[in-house]
Amino acid sequence: MYKQYLNQTLNLLKENKFLSIISIVGTALAICMIMVIVIIYQVKTANYEPETHRDRMLVVKWAGAVNKEHPDWRFNSMLSLRVIKECFYPLKSAEAVTSVLPFQQKLANIPGGTSDLKCDVSFTDDAFWKVFEFSFLKGKPYLKEEFESGIKKAVITESMARHLYGNIEVIGKPIRLSYADYTICGVVKDVSTLAEYAYAQVWVPYTVIKAPASKDWSDGLLDGYRCFILAKSSSDFDAIRSELNRNVLILNAGQKEQILDLNGQPDTQFVQMTRVSANEDSKVKETVIRYSLVLVALLLIPAINLSGMTLSRMRKRMAEIGVRKAFGANRKELLGQILYENFVLTILGGIIGLVFSYISIFFMRGWLLNNPWDGFLIGTTSFTMEMLFQPLVFLYALIFCLLLNLLSAGIPAWKASRTNIINALNDK
């Protein structure tokens, strides 16, 4: 029977090409805009290489130091190594803890070479390679002992290796970062700036740093480090948070002038997304409300307009509906048929819309996936298949198509199925 409906629908589509095209385009536009939002959300929160554990990772992006006597005097910045060593590394409930001094711009070249370029260097510990999973093309990361001894080893990206040496057979060769010499110990695939925390072009142990990144004005609390805590599973988040809070309390008890305030951090991947700058609180509620409103608007406005067209289409076929009713079709059957027919239209629009949403994301990524600070980074916003084609995306697309269908054809279908047989037959 459904096959017959399908045939019928396709014939109807051909009958009035112009209007069919318009309603398909309308659906496609709505689905395209909705799916762009969904895909962006996926790209920002789903697991993919090298940020493969986003779902069980906690982030401390920023840190604040509050004056003990004047609680409204506050510095906002990032964590200092001292805090990380006292509060974060000892966490027993976590699987691994890593800290990173991210994105220091350095001039990269090779001794005697002429191929200078500016690059983003992240200073990390050895646990970094456990919290984030990079695929090594050559060599391996620096190990715990090497990290602790402050050895000058560097992991670089594939494109960096090719720029400096023309190939990736570079293990053991030197690299010079702002006139400090390092030995290359590993080559990894390039990292997109979308993997915000793992991203860099060169990674070196932070133990090589000889002087603090900035002068201390925060009682030893603030500097430029970020901290990432990997939990065994997301159910351990609460345990980690309470253990961390205990550690912070102990630390603050020993502080003279200023105390550490993490402002509700560590955050999950979604929460940290809404915490844009150091002096802002996370805006989970606002973000959820805003996106829900946008999604509702994107569904409702086209649905209302499309339902006008569905209604017109129904009018035209009143006689047919009357005949079907006269021959014993019940209300439910009719409703099902109309919704089904309309769903064929919606799905057609949905597929086109999904394709267009991928196309628009790909070509307008600078706009759609913009992170305010990306412009300062040297890397590119590249995509991998893994990032974009998550099964969930297709599921969401289907759900939104169904919703749109129900919204745009629900009322006309309900109306049509309730018409009096005689009226319907008379085409009134």
Partner 1 sequence: MVSVFLWFVVDYLYVAASNYFTPTGFNIEHTYKVSIEQLSLESAEYMPVDNKTTLGEDYLKIINRIRNYHGVEAVSLSTYSHPYALGNIFNNYAHDTTLVSLQIRNVTPDFFRVFRVTNPDGNTEPLIAGLKQDKSIVITKDAELKLMGEGCSAIGITLTKPEVDSIGEKVTGVSTNLRYTEFEKENSSVFILQKESDIVEQNDPGFFKTLELCIRVSPDADHDFISCFRKDMTHQLRVGNFFMLDIQSLQSIRNTFFRMTGDFNTLKTHLAIVAFLLVNIFLGIIGTFWFRTAYRKGEMGLRLALGSTRSNLRGLLIAEGLILLTLAIIPAAVVGFNIGHAELVEVKRMDFTFLRFLIGIVATYLLMIGMIILGIGYPARQAMSIQPAEVLHEQ
Residues that bind partner 1 (CB under 8 A): 18-19, 22-23, 25-26, 29, 33, 105-107, 109, 114, 116, 118, 152, 178-181, 208-211, 298, 301-302, 304-309, 311-312, 315-316, 364, 366-367, 370, 372-376
Residue 2, CA distances (Å) to 12, 107, 337, 344, 405 in order = 15, 66, 8, 11, 17
Q: Which is closer to partner 1, CB of 2 or CB of 179?
A: 179
Q: Which is closer to partner 1, CB of 301 or CB of 422?
A: 301
User: Alpha-carbon distance 130 to 140, whole Å?
Assistant: 12
Minimum CB separation of residue 17 from partner 1 in Å reads 11
User: Alpha-carbon distance 199 to 263, whole Å?
Assistant: 25
From 228, 189, 282, select the one nearest 53 (Cα to Cα). 228
Minimum CB separation of residue 135 from partner 1 in Å reads 29
The H or E element containing residue 306 is helix 284-316
Q: Which is closer to partner 1, CB of 305 or CB of 384?
A: 305
Minimum CB separation of residue 67 from partner 1 in Å reads 25
Q: Which is closer to partner 1, CB of 231 or CB of 309?
A: 309
Cα 29–Cα 30–Cα 32 angle in degrees, nearest 5: 65
Q: Which is closer to partner 1, CB of 107 or CB of 137?
A: 107
Minimum CB separation of residue 58 from partner 1 in Å reads 27
Minimum CB separation of residue 413 from partner 1 in Å reads 15
Minimum CB separation of residue 128 from partner 1 in Å reads 19
* DSSP H helical ranges for 364-390: 365-368, 385-388
Q: Which is closer to partner 1, CB of 179 or CB of 327?
A: 179
From 374, 274, 296, select the one nearest 33 (Cα to Cα). 296
Q: Which is closer to partner 1, CB of 232 or CB of 316?
A: 316
* DSSP H helical ranges for 169-226: none
Minimum CB separation of residue 109 from partner 1 in Å reads 8
Give the dihedral of Cα atoms 361, 362, 363, 366; nearest 10 deg. Answer: 70
The H or E element containing residue 128 is helix 128-131
